[in-house]
Structure 1
Amino acid sequence: MFDAKVALGTWSWGSGKNGGDQVFGNHLTQKDLQAVVDSAMANGLNLWDTAAAYGEGSSETLLGNCLKPYSRDEYFLSTKFTPVFASSGADPVSDMLNGSLKRLHTDYIDLYWIHNSDDVEKWTPKIIPLVKKGVIKHVGVSNHNLDQVKRVNEILNAGGIKLDAVQNHYSLLHRQSEDTGLLDYCHKNGITFFPYMVLEQGVLTGKHDAVHPFEGDNNRARTYNPMLPKLTSLLAKMAALAEQYHVAVADIATAWVIQKGTTPIIGVTKQHYIADTKRAISLTLTVNDMHDLESLADQARVDTRASWEQNMKQ
């Protein structure tokens, strides 16, 4: 249903609660990001993923401003309703959507997500009238397990609408959506699977290891630095494959999820990331490569499930 090979993520943009400064230690301006957007658009990468929750709307604001020079039909917008931040009004989904529309300078969203599975029975039906109104073109759910995804699909189908996408944490280091059968369910039912945290916030880029940990006092450093010594063998294998294929280490992690039949969301903060992403799209790993990477990832025995994520195996 979605032609793009990858989506470009903007979680690390913006500032404030759940923003790029607090989570990643980033401090990005519109000037910094305009070059990223321009390079992506010039290279045919035009599927942009954001959320009202990222930096309390500041990610959407930056993205909307950077996309202003382009015609609306030149790019595809993906943003989210996050139940935990719902208003107390009569229609919280519509309220949050309207804020996103304003910040993104548009009158419709191509793909609108229910950001977590707070209450499937409550929130899913509220999406249906917005799709019928035309302000939402496609519906997705994020951070839902297999049973919840099936229930969402039932509710939407009863309203004459199809679930088009699922967005969950999925990487070499976190494969619960595969282990529980959710990924297979999506493939069998024509639902596009969008993995996020494919690079585990930079862990799988080859730039950090036990000797070169993340710097600063931020969530990423506190979470991942203790894991780095356990990832030595995996990172060494990724570096060797990157050298063999003449690509960046991050491209190995991205190519792996693409070959799993998914459309990864790649966080972009620098212009050169666009060239890396293009290389990853064209890279084909062998069956042995895939097996070796998965085996080494399993041997590391790290748990990268984030605080907001449910255990998909429950």
Structure 2
Amino acid sequence: MKQRKLGASDLMVSEISLGSWLTYGVGVEADNARACVDRAFGLGINFIDTANVYGRGAAETVLGEALAGRPRDRYVLATKLWGRMSDHDQGLSRTQVHKQIDASLKRLRTDYVDLYQCHRYDPDTPLEETMEALSEVVKAGKARWIGFSEWSPDQIEAAFAIPGVERFVSSQPQYSILWRRPEKAVIPVCRAHDVSQIVWSPLAQGVLTGKYDPDAAPPADSRAASDAMNTAISGWMRREVLEAVQRMKPLAAEAGCTLAQFALAWVLREPNVASAIVGASRPSQLDDNAAAVDLDIDPALFAQAEAIADAIPRARA
């Protein structure tokens, strides 16, 4: 498994990382979750991403159990805060930053996380307060580095303009062949500040595996067929999207790989991307995904896939 440096940090992260949104503690049984974590390590995946709000703490709890006993310096662990944990707990205030990091560490069974991320921007809290609180968490040794997810270029610039605080090293945007918005402004701003991308949904909730036939019901064991895991996939299940994805399959075949591998390799072609987060409900999915890092695909094939995606009417999640 190849690794890339994460922004201005000293962290080296695997190009494929294991995520836990809608899976562990939610739609995937604990035994399968542990098997996926074990397989990830076996493949050389060293980067695990989660968030306090995934399953309202359930994902962190499952990962804490699955990681227990492993040498802490053998993996990079990231979590997030901002999401609603209760009627009184949400956002990026100083109180929430300190409360949520302690709760996350307890669930994860560790003394620190390598990366602590703002899940979204909090317009109700002064940015200076958030940045100062995150800096306090780092100084306390509870997090090594900080990042953000889905912030606008203006919000990113504003954070870097605050003196005397910790600097962000990572950005976590949605990014795939079907969702290229970060390329316009977020990636250039991040590149200027030595911030790397850790991208979520590089397979568009699994749609870019090509397993969804526009003329058939979703496979029984798929995310789209699961009431626990299909809450964010509906935008990608439109006929015109599924038909476009089917037209990408011959490109992957010409490249000698699966469509999922092709889509992941496309994401990793961007130098500012440090890692692509994948979700897995069974270990075999990780085997397929991890192989993407060794592919050398003709850029002309990527260009054809981009043209197919760009032609989708109003393509959006």
TM over 0.5: yes
**Which protein is richer in helix relative to its size?**
1
Shift of the alpha carbon at 1:220?
A: 4.1
Alignment match of 2:299 (pick from 251, 274, 287): 287
Query: How many Å separate the matches in 1 of 2:288 and 2:239?
Result: 23
Q: Which segments of 5 or more consecutive residues in structure 1 lack a partner in the other structure?
A: 21-25, 306-314
Aligned to 1:103: 107
CA spacing shift, 1:276–1:54, aligned 2, 3 Å? same
Q: CA 1:219–1:83 in 2, change beyond 3 Å: closer, same or farther?
A: closer
1:291 partner amino acid? A
Quote how far apart the aligned CAs of 1:134 are: 1.4
- Of the three residues 204, 215, 219, the one matched with 2:225 is 215
The one of 170, 174, 199 aligned to 1:165: 170
> Which residue does 1:23 correspond to in 2?
none
Q: Which amino acid aligns with 1:279?
A: A
Report what 2:154 is aligned to.
Answer: 147
Partner of residue 243, structure 2: 232
Tell whether the 8 Å contact from 1:209 to 1:229 is kept in structure 2 after alignment: no
Displacement of 1:294: 1.1
TM-score w.r.t. length of structure 1: 0.86
User: Contact conserved, 2:240 with 2:313, CA < 8 A, in 1?
Assistant: no
Please name the residue that 1:54 is paired with.
54
2:62 maps to amino acid: L
Q: Which residue of 1 aligns with 2:280?
A: 268
Residue 253 of structure 2 corresponds to 243
User: What secondary structure sits across from 1:172 in the alignment?
Assistant: coil
In the other structure, the counterpart of 2:313 is 301
The aligned counterpart of 2:63 is: 63
2:152 aligned partner, one-letter code:
N
What's the Cα RMSD here?
2.0
How far did residue 84 of structure 1 move?
4.2
Deviations, residues 92-121 of structure 1 (Å, cap 9, x unaligned): 111111111011000001000011012361
- Give the deviation of 1:151 after TM superposition: 1.2
Contact 2:50 2:80 in 1 (8 A): yes
Distance 1:148 1:49, change over 3 A: same
Q: Distance in 2 between matches of 1:280 and 1:232?
A: 23
Q: 2:200 aligns with which of 190, 196, 200?
A: 196
Task: For 1:270 and 1:258, locate their aligned partners in 2 and report how far apart those are by CA, in whole Å.
Answer: 23
TM-score using structure 2 length: 0.85
Percent identity over paired residues: 29
| Amino acid in structure 2 at the alignment position of 1:148 | Q
Matches of 1:260 and 1:242, distance apart in 2: 18
Residue range with higher mean Cα deviation, 280-289 or 135-144: 280-289
Distance in 1 between residues matched to 2:233 and 2:167, nearest whole Å: 39
Query: What is the alpha-carbon distance in structure 1 between the residues aligned to residue 154 and residue 59 of structure 2?
Result: 31
Structure-2 change in CA distance of 1:188 and 1:6 (3 Å): farther
Quote how far apart the aligned CAs of 1:160 are.
Answer: 4.3
Q: Which runs of 5 or more structure 2 residues have no equivalent in the other structure?
A: 7-11, 219-223
Aligned length: 290
- State the distance in 2 between where 1:243 and 1:288 align: 14
SS of corresponding position for 1:91: helix
CA–CA separation in structure 1 for the residues paired with 2:241 and 2:32 = 34
Structure 2 Cα separation of the partners of residues 90 and 141 of structure 1? 16
Alignment of structure 1 residues 4-43 onto 2, 5 Å: 4-15=14-25, 20=26, 26=27, 28-43=28-43
